[in-house]
Structure 1
Amino acid sequence: MPEFPPDSVAFVTGAGSGIGLHVAKQYVTDGILKIAIIDISNERLLETEKLLLTLSAHAKILVIPTDCSKEAEIDAAVAKTVEEFGRIDVCCNAAGISGARGSSTEQSTENMMSVMQLNVMGTWWCNRAQIKQMLKQEWRDLTTGLPFKTRGSIINVGSLLSHRAIKYGGTYAMSKHTVIGISRQDAVDYGTEGIRVNAICPGAVRTNIFTPDVWESPLGVQLKERSALNRHGVPEEIAYLVGFLSSDKASFITGAVYNIDGGYTAS
């Protein structure tokens, strides 16, 4: 049984590195051969494109440099994807920044606004544009053979800090709390329209959202030692979950929030 229909189209933000990059890889591995990759860095996107083409020579990769903190650029990226491929079936919104650490009295308004603009507004703008497109599309049968239909699936990337705060987590924790709200609300509003929306909350996953020294810092050590697995995660592990949630095997899952943190939130 294929994971996705042969004409499926994926749309991945933050695809130049980290979780977004590995989600794009997972989609191609699972058989999605039409994929739009979105990131603020054109250079990183071109590297991602090369990598994806090594996984499948038949893949069609649309590179769209985009600043996901800007509404017009997100809308343009969705429009360009539809112009090229005709539709959008699965989306992973992984673009985000950590911002400066520190308590509220130590934070500048500029830092707060930049983090919120990308992590919160960017996620909402992505959801809005993607849902608008999916609402235009026909209902299709599930690949599982179950007697239901769908129009699309969206995965938003939250964080361990979508649920709790850590000392000096700053605006990042505040922004990632909101990602859960966006996901749940859109899931409720568009479930009867055949659109599923879920959120994943990775824990300490070694990506470039933090500088390398953070992983060996007291914070990095704390995140590792509190994990039930006593280690940091890697982005491939996050991509496996995204691939499943995006697929028709997850047809009864929407409005859900999945912790993928090595057991950090269990303790």
Structure 2
Amino acid sequence: MKKKVTAQSCLKGALWYLVVGALSILFVLPFIWMVSTAFKTGPQCVDYPPTFIPRPFTLRSFTEVFSISPMLTYIKNSVVIVGLNILGTLVSCSLVAYGFSRFHCREKNIWFTILLSTMMIPGFTLLIPQFSMYTKLGWVNTILPLVVPTFLATNAFSVFILRQFFMSFPGELDEAARLDGCSYLGVFVRILLPNSKTVMFVVALFCFVGTWNDFFGPLIYLNDMEKYTLAVGLVMLKASQGSTLDMGPMMAGALLAVIPTFLLYLTCQRYFVQGVVTSGLKG
């Protein structure tokens, strides 16, 4: 009976690994195709049957993509917007999370529940009123609609992660600092923040990935080509290419857009996992 159970469990394990392996190949195949096409010559991009290994290996797609579109401008715009979003999210969300984790009042849980409930509101339902408001403020065709809200703690998920982490610190640390004459802001700056580098890094990672890959926001609020982000610039590049079968420049641009997030996931995977674990801490 024991041998039968062992054989059955081994069979289940083998089938499980087979299914996971097949799904992994299915999901990674488009990425491999993108990388392969980015380094092919023009005729190789339209070869049939297609090949995965470029022969010869060439960088002509990268040269062309920088010559036919302002890719450096797109990358610079994306970096500026991402940097400001990370700064705004870390500053505003950490302050709000500190308030929810340390200050006590009768309505605190109600306000925190309302804050978390905003994550269930589809962003498209807010598009028209937000666009109308930004138009009246004269912010359309500027990066302000994409940056200013992050300085107002609009990222409820980041507030939640930071609040859960701050609540794991014993209150005795605050009391000891207060007895030594430290203000509430001093406790936040001198005690909580220096010991929260990991969770702050996690929030910054999530913010980077979300902002770098954001397409809809820049598409709606930015009108001039020199203000486009990389995500919007790639779509404009595809439109400028028309119906051409040479996908080399397009794949080169897509590879440039994917590399930062790919490297982040590759090198900082444990921080993403820790972000999920941190959000599950008891409050």
TM range (shorter): under 0.3
What is the TM-score normalised by the length of structure 1?
Answer: 0.25
Query: What TM-score does the superposition give when structure 2 sets the normalisation length?
Result: 0.24
> Whose strand proportion is higher, 1 or 2?
1
Greater fraction of residues in helix: 2
